[in-house]
Amino acid sequence: MKIAVIYWSGSGNTEAMAIAAAEGVKKAGGEATLARVEEFNLSDLGSYDGFLFGCPAMGAEVLEEAVFEPFFAAAEQKLSGVAVGLFGSYGWGGGAWMRDWAARVKEDGARLVGEGLAIENTPDAEGLADCESLGAAIVQALN
C-alpha cells in the first residue's frame, strides 16, 4: 500500500506528527511518501492508495489559507472512495477546525480513517504514538 503523508507545518508540531504517522505506515507494512504540501504535485495523487493530510489550526480555526487550503481544495475533488486520515496541532479552540475538516472530507465521499487526530501544541510521546497508530490504521483500512 502506497500512502502519501502530505502536510503543512509552521512551528514544527504538525511536521513531527507527519513523521510519526509515516513511521506508523511503514511499521504496518505500507510504503510512505512524506512530503511538505509545497513539494507534492497534485498530478501524483493517482499514484497512491491512500492519504494522510496534516495541517494545524490557523486563525479562526481554519486550515492554513495561503498554501494548504488551495492545495486541499484541488485535491479533495479526487478523494471520493479513497482512504484518508487527517491530523494536525492546535493551540486554542479545542479542535473545531478538525471536526469541520473531517466533515468536509466525508462530504467529499472519502473513506475517513478515524475522526481526525488533533493534538494540542507540541505532541508528546503519547501523541506521537497516536500518530503512528493513525499511520497503521490507514494501512489496515486498505487491506
- The mean pLDDT of 8-21, rounded to a whole number, is 96
Question: CA 55, CA 90: separation in Å to the nearest integer?
Answer: 9
Closest CA to 123 of 54, 63, 28: 54
**pLDDT of residue 143 exceeding 90:** no
What pLDDT, on a 0 to 100 scale, did the predictor assign at position 95? 85
What pLDDT, on a 0 to 100 scale, did the predictor assign at position 125? 97
What pLDDT, on a 0 to 100 scale, did the predictor assign at position 84? 98
114 grid coordinates: 478515524
What pLDDT, on a 0 to 100 scale, did the predictor assign at position 91? 86
Q: Give pLDDT tens digits for 16-71.
A: 999 999 999 999 999 999 999 999 999 999 999 999 999 999 887 889 899 999 99
Place of cell 477546525: 97
Tell the CATH superfamily of the 2-142 domain.
Answer: Flavodoxin domain (3.40.50.360)
Per-domain boundaries in the chain: 2-142
Q: Give pLDDT tens digits for 74-97.
A: 999 999 999 999 999 998 878 889
Closest CA to 95 of 67, 124, 122, 62: 62
- In this prediction, residue 112 has a pLDDT band, given cuts at 50, 70 and 90, of very high
Question: CA 125, CA 140: separation in Å to the nearest integer?
Answer: 22
117 grid coordinates: 487526530
What pLDDT, on a 0 to 100 scale, did the predictor assign at position 68? 95
